[in-house]
Amino acid sequence: MKSFFQLSKLFCTFIIFLKSVNTCHDLHTNFFQHFSSKTPYRYIANYNTSSIEYEGCKPWKIWLVQRHGTRTPGNELDKFVRDRLPKIQEDILNNLSKGTILGELCSFEGIKLWTSHKELDSQKRLTSEGQDELFEFAERLQLRLPTLLDQPYQNTNFLFRYTDTQRTDESAKQFATGLFGRIEVKKVVFTKPLDKDPLLRFYKVCQKWRQNVKKSPSAILEYTKFTLSDIVNTTLSDLSKRLGLNYTLSFKEAKNIYSYCAFETAWEKIKVSPWCSIFSELDFKVFEYSEDLKHYLIDGDKYELTYKQACVLLKNVVEHFDDDKLDSHNGIFYFTHSGTVLKMLGVLGLYKDNDNLRHDNFWEMENRQWRTSKIDAFGSNLIFVLFKCYNDMKILTLHQEKIIRIPGCESDLCSYDTFKKIYQEKLNNCDFNKMCNIE
C-alpha cells in the first residue's frame, strides 16, 4: 500500500499535469484585430447595405480614394519565408522531437505540416481575396447609393484612375466589375497610369519629405527605440522560449513571422495561418504598436509636411464637387496605396490622439485612435458624397464604408460651405512645389 506521502506526491503531479494542459498557449481569440496594415478588409467591412437617404436631399456626386486589396508580400518578407522560416520551423520541430519543448503551445501540428502558401511571391500582386474585397465593396456601395451608382456606364459619368502597379490596376477593374457587371465593365475606360503620379502618390515626388522624413533615421528614431525597448526584448524572449528555441529570435525575425501570419490569414477566408498560434495577446499588441508607430512617424501627423502635401488630393475633391458643368463626372474613383490614404486622413484631421505615439508610452496608448488595423486595412477607402438638398449642398464622409463626422462639422451630413471653410487654409496654401522642393 502506497504511503500518504507517495499518494500526495502523485496527486500533486496530476494537478500540475492538468494545469499544464489547461494553460497551454493557444490561438488568441481576437488575433485578427491586431494585423495592422495587413488586416484583410473582411474583418472591418460594413455589411449594412441600407440605402443612404436624407429627407429633401439627393446624392449628386461621389469621390473615392481606395487602397488596393489584399496582396502578396514584398521581396524582403518573401525571402524570409522561403529561406529563414523553414529553418526556424526545423529548429522548433527538432527540439520537439528531443523533448526539450515543455508543451507551452497547445498544438504544434499546424507548424509541423506548414509549407509556404501558393499565393506567396515577391511582386506585391493582388490576390484572389483582394479581388473579392474590391468587387464586393462596389456591390455594397451601389446598394447604398442606387440613384447615383445604379446606372449604365458612360465615359462622361465616371472617371477611373490608378497608379502604375498591378495591384491597383486589378483593384480598379474588380471594383468597376462589381459596379457595372461583367459585361458592361468591358466598356469602361481607365485613365493610363503615370510612372510617378503627382496626385495619387504625391509623396513619391515630394523630395523634401522623402529626404527629411521617409529616408531620415532621425525621423523614425522613436520606432528604432521601441524595437530595442524592454517590452520588445521581453516579448522576443518569451516567444522564443514558447517555441523551445535555444536562441532568441531577433525583432526582425519575429516581426516577419507576425507579418506572414497576417498575410497567410488574409489570403484564406476560413483558414488561419498556423504561425498566428505562436503569439500571445500581448505579442500581437506589441507588434501592432510597432507598425502603428512606424506609420505614425512616416504617414501620420507627427511631421507637418507629411499630411500637408495631401492637400493636392483634398483640392481635387473640392474641384470635382465645384465643377457644375453639364459634362462633368458624377463619380471619381482613385485606386492607390496605404501612404496616400493615411496622409489624406491626416490632412482631414481624423484619428488624432491627445498624445504622440512614442517608444515609451505603449501602455498609455492602448486605446489610441491611430490604429492601423482599423484605419489602414487592405482595401481601405475614403468616400465623399455631395448631396443636393433644396437650395443647399451638403457633403457626407465615409471611411471604411462607415459614416464619420468631419471635425468642425455640425452633423454627419455637413454643409458643403462649412466643409470648405474648415479646410480653407490648407486649400489656399497648397503650393506643392514650394512645400516639397529642396532649396
Each residue's pLDDT tens digit, 199-208: 999 999 999 9
Sign of the dihedral defined by the CA atoms of residues 99, 101, 104, 110, in that order: negative
Give the Å distances, CA to CA, from 293 to 138, 225, 226, 359. Answer: 31, 11, 9, 8
Q: Within 10 Å of residue 323's Cβ, how many Cβ atoms? A: 11
User: Over the stretch 264-309, which tens digit does the pLDDT of each residue have?
Assistant: 999 999 899 999 999 999 999 999 999 999 999 999 999 999 999 9
Mean pLDDT of the chain: 92
pLDDT digits (tens, 9 = 90+) for 21-80: 445 666 777 899 999 999 999 999 999 999 999 999 999 999 999 999 999 999 999 999
pLDDT at 108: 81
pLDDT in the model for residue 29: 76
312 exposed, middle or buried (CB, 10 Å; 0-12, 13-18, 19+)?
A: middle
Residue 417's contacts (CB-CB under 8 Å, 6 or more residues apart) are 393
Chain position carrying cell 487592405: 378
Strands 331-336 and 414-415 turn out to be unpaired
pLDDT band at 330 (very low <50, low <70, confident <90, very high): very high
Q: Measured at the alpha carbon of residue 288, what is the angle toward residues 286 and 293, in degrees to the nearest 5?
A: 95
pLDDT band at residue 388 under the 50/70/90 scheme? very high
3-state secondary structure of 382: strand
Question: Hey, what's the cell of 182?
Answer: 461583367
Residue 86 binned pLDDT confidence (cut-offs 50, 70, 90): very high
Q: What is the largest CA-CA distance in the chain?
A: 100
* Dihedrals phi, psi of 397, to nearest 5 degrees: -115, 135
pLDDT in the model for residue 7 = 44
Q: Is 200 exposed, middle or buried (0-12, 13-18, 19+ CB in 10 A)?
A: buried
Cβ contact 40:266 at 8 Å: yes
d(CA 176, CA 170) in angstroms, rounded, equals 10
Query: Greater confidence, 353 or 151?
Result: 353
Domain borders along the chain are 4-436
4-436: CATH homologous superfamily? Phosphoglycerate mutase-like (3.40.50.1240)
Looking up cell 496608448 gives: 365
User: Please, are residues 49 and 144 in contact by the beta-carbon 8 Å criterion?
Assistant: yes
Helices (H), 348-409: 372-375
Q: What digits encode the pLDDT tens for the residues 118-148?
A: 888 889 999 999 999 999 999 999 999 999 9
The percentage of the chain sitting over the pLDDT mark of 70, rounded to a whole number, equals 92
Annotate 339-363 with b (16+ C-beta within 10 A) or e (fewer). bbbbbbbbbbebbebeeebbbebbe
